[in-house]
């Protein structure tokens, strides 16, 4: 088998990871051997390589935190899965490898009927971004059909899922991007209003929405972009930060807190896992997997790379200007 491993962290993420040969493990009792089919490179994966993520695995480590696999072999006593089943790789780290063993009880079976290679790639991105988008829309502010949500980094994986999930609920979206070339794909995806970020964002949002009341803002950028979203939400509105693509702390003017009573919250999927029940997790992932398998929920794939080209793949994922996710497809 092959695995993308790193034994140090550094400022240039592609310089610290390498693809190596390892013995293929055999499943013990209660375990299954998984053959990885596709795994994405997320911002959190790049931050793990540079040492700036909130939860870092001990070194040496295998990269990656999500992916989709096929069951290749069963250990003794495993009756809940069968060879050939399509499954999510457990969210325990180390998905950038051709094979892995896992406890059968931690593996979630996915719908496989009629699954195409394109759907397999979409399912590989199920574990992190789709639930993040769904929970951002449900955990902070009650939203009804006709309500408005504003988000930045709207052309990210999470941003595209937010547009689709909001549209399915009748919730309208203002999607903010950082370049004009990112606008058209989001409009085609169903974004109601798509704007390029800038110092006059609040005025342009008000004009485009007819001064609609916006109760919820979603920030993945940080820095001064956070305050530009704060200026767009209604008095008493909620702003949720879930990322820092700018590399800067969130900046919100005191007036937004003092005079407009804005609430700033944070979201990390790991914390939701810690407080949610297995039944809640299964219900959320089951719904999202069904939507993906039926073609109702998707995100763009910019490029795929074999595992042997993990350095090139990480370099591509670490820069802006992409039109979708980078996937490792061994």
Active centre residues (catalytic): 53
Dist CA 310 CA 49 (whole Å): 12
| Contact (Cβ atoms closer than 8 angstroms) between residue 49 and residue 2 | no
Helix (H) / strand (E) containing 188: helix 183-189
CA angle 225, 266, 137 (to 5 degrees): 90
Phi and psi (nearest 5°) for 79? -125, -5
Give me the residue label for tokens 């203002």: 174
Dist CA 160 CA 156 (whole Å): 6
Q: What 8-state DSSP symbol labels residue 321?
A: -
Dist CA 173 CA 176 (whole Å): 10
């Amino acid at each position: 088998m092959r695995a993308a491993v790193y034994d140090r962290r550094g400022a240039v993420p592609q310089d610290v990871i390498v693809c190596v040969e390892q013995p293929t493990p055999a499943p013990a009792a209660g375990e299954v051997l998984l053959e990885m089919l596709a795994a994405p490179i997320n911002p959190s994966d790049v931050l793990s390589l540079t040492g700036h993520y909130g939860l870092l695995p001990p070194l040496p480590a295998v990269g990656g935190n999500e992916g989709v696999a096929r069951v290749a072999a069963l250990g003794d006593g495993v009756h809940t899965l069968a060879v050939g089943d399509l499954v999510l790789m457990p969210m325990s780290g180390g998905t950038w490898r051709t094979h892995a063993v896992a406890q059968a009880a931690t593996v979630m079976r996915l719908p496989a009927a009629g699954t195409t290679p394109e759907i397999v790639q979409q399912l590989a991105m199920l574990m992190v971004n789709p639930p993040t988008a769904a929970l951002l829309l449900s955990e902070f502010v009650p939203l009804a059909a006709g309500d408005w949500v504003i988000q930045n980094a709207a052309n990210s994986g999470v941003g595209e899922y937010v547009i689709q999930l909001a549209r399915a609920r009748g919730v309208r979206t203002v999607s903010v991007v950082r370049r004009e070339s990112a606008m058209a794909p989001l409009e085609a995806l169903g974004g109601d209003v798509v704007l390029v970020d800038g110092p006059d964002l609040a005025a342009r949002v008000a004009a485009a929405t007819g001064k609609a009341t916006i109760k919820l803002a979603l920030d993945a950028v940080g820095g001064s972009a956070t305050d530009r979203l704060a200026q767009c939400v209604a008095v008493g509105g909620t702003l949720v930060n879930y990322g820092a693509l700018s590399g800067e702390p969130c900046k919100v003017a005191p007036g937004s807190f003092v005079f407009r009573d804005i609430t700033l919250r944070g979201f990390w999927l790991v914390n939701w896992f810690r407080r949610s029940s297995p039944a809640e997790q299964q219900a959320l992932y089951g719904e999202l997997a069904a939507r993906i398998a039926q073609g109702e929920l998707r995100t763009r794939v910019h490029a795929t790379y074999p595992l042997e080209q993990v350095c090139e793949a990480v370099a591509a994922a670490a820069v802006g200007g992409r039109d979708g996710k980078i996937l490792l497809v061994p």
